[in-house]
Amino acid sequence: MGAFLSDLLHALQGNRRAAVGGLILAGYLLAALLGPALIPLDPTMKYAERFRPPSLAHPLGTDYAGRDVLAQIVHGSRDVLAIAVLTALFTTAMAVGIGALSGYSGGALDALLMLLTNIQLTVPAVPVYLLIGSVFQVRDPLGFAALISLWMWGPLARAVRSQILSLKEREFIEAARVLGLGTSHILLRELFPNLTPFVVIHFIRIMRDAITASVGLIFLGLAPFSPTNWGTMLNLAVFQTGAIYIPNALHYVLAPMAVIVLFQLGAIFFAHGLDEILNPRLRAPS
Q: Using CB under 8 A as the criterion, which residues of the chain lie in contact with other proteins when the complex forms?
A: 115, 118-119, 121-128, 130-132, 134-137, 212, 215-216, 219-222, 234, 238, 244-245, 247, 250, 253, 257, 260-261, 264-265, 268, 286
Choose between 36 and 224: whose C-beta lies nearer to other proteins: 224
Choose between 137 and 196: whose C-beta lies nearer to other proteins: 137
Choose between 108 and 135: whose C-beta lies nearer to other proteins: 135
Choose between 29 and 119: whose C-beta lies nearer to other proteins: 119
Q: Nearest approach, Cβ of 68 to other proteins (angstroms)?
A: 22
Choose between 149 and 195: whose C-beta lies nearer to other proteins: 149
Q: What is the DSSP string of the chain?
A: -HHHHHHHHHHHHH-HHHHHHHHHHHHHHHHHHHHHHHS-------GGGTTPPP-SSSTT-B-TTS-BHHHHHHHHHHHHHHHHHHHHHHHHHHHHHHHHHHHHH-HHHHHHHHHHHHHHHHS-HHHHHHHHHHHTT--SHHHHHHHHHTTT-HHHHHHHHHHHHHHHTSHHHHHHHHTT--HHHIIIIIIHHHHHHHHHHHHHHHHHHHHHHHHHHHHHTS----TTSHHHHHHIIIIIS-GGG-GGGHHHHHHHHHHHHHHHHHHHHHHHHHHHHH-GGGS---
Choose between 57 and 123: whose C-beta lies nearer to other proteins: 123
Q: Nearest approach, Cβ of 53 to other proteins (angstroms)?
A: 16
